Amino acid sequence: MKQFLLKIWSHCVRLTARWPSIASIAPFIPVVAAWWIVTELQLFPRVFLPGPAEVVRSFGSLVYMGILPAYLQDSIVRLAVGAFWGVALGIPLGILVGLNQRARTALWPLLLFFQAIGDIAWLPILVIWFGYGLTTITVVIVYTVIFPVVLNTVLGVRSIPITLHRAAQSLGASRIRMLWEVVLPGALPNIVTGLRNGLGYGWRALIATEIIVGTSGIGFLMFDARRSGSVVEILLGMIILGILWYIVDSWILAPIERATGQRWGLVTR
């Protein structure tokens, strides 16, 4: 018996070594299996908890009708636009606050104050100002992304050892070049962490915003499904959220983190 299990285990190890994506799918197999068993046993009425097969079928038909690809695109573009502006504004602001004592004294309390208000708390007033449209959604995403980016950038800038600044100056670097050669790379691991947190919060804020003010997108799909009582589509939306985040994290963010902090020895492996 033990021999047999070991054999299966070594098989699994070899398999996942050859196709790493299997390793990331494997943990979900028991979850899906449990879900399937629960629905097959009819512990809950079907309309309350549909099974995996129905969700897959609903996925197929929504893709076929073109609704899902369009909504997915809307959500991703919104997140990308919001994240872009959040980063484009957040990094320079973080560097300014991190480097300049006076800017820090002036801006730090404001940053903490506005961070505390939270993204969704802005929705009521934003809807009055900008209506139910892309502007409102973008503002919320930028607002959500910018704080983790700014705060982590400040942290990163301030964690750069003074000897690195001094070394660069003694080698003839001007103030402007110091930004590019020392400050930015030195803060980069923290900036990536900030981006990672920001995108995570931004993604959630996006779905919440779409539920409240959206006319398309994954959040809207889920809320619309609730109106028509389609639990299948709600479940589908939830699964898509999880999978999308998984993809963004493991295909985009994690590789950036590996390429920066780890090779440079700034982050422990």
**Where do contacts with other proteins occur on this chain (CB under 8 A)?**
161, 163-164, 166-174, 177, 181-182, 185-186, 188, 260, 263-266
Minimum CB distance to other proteins, residue 90 (Å) = 21
Q: How do the residues of the chain divide into helix, strand and coil, expressed in percent and rounded to 5?
A: 85, 0, 15
Gap between the Cα atoms of 181 and 172, Å rounded: 12
Gap between the Cα atoms of 238 and 218, Å rounded: 9
Give whichever of 183 and 232 is closer to other proteins, judged by the CB atom.
183
Q: Within 13 Å of residue 254, how many CA atoms lie on the same side as its CB?
A: 8
Minimum CB distance to other proteins, residue 168 (Å) = 7
Give whichever of 70 and 267 is closer to other proteins, judged by the CB atom.
267
**Residues with Cβ within 8 Å of residue 178, at least 6 apart in sequence:** 165, 168, 169
Minimum CB distance to other proteins, residue 197 (Å) = 22
Helix (H, G, I), strand (E, B) or coil at 172: coil
Tell me the residue type at 215: T
Give whichever of 118 and 185 is closer to other proteins, judged by the CB atom.
185
Minimum CB distance to other proteins, residue 162 (Å) = 8
Give whichever of 128 and 171 is closer to other proteins, judged by the CB atom.
171
94 touches 153 (CB < 8 A)? yes
Give whichever of 21 and 163 is closer to other proteins, judged by the CB atom.
163
CA-based nearest residue to 89, from 137, 135, 144, 130: 144
Give the H or E element holding residue 132.
Answer: none
Minimum CB distance to other proteins, residue 216 (Å) = 41
Give whichever of 74 and 257 is closer to other proteins, judged by the CB atom.
257
Radius of gyration of the chain (CA): 23
CA-based nearest residue to 206, from 116, 59, 77: 77
- The token pair at 44 is 């809950």
- The token pair at 41 is 């046993």
Minimum CB distance to other proteins, residue 163 (Å) = 4
Minimum CB distance to other proteins, residue 88 (Å) = 22
Give whichever of 93 and 182 is closer to other proteins, judged by the CB atom.
182
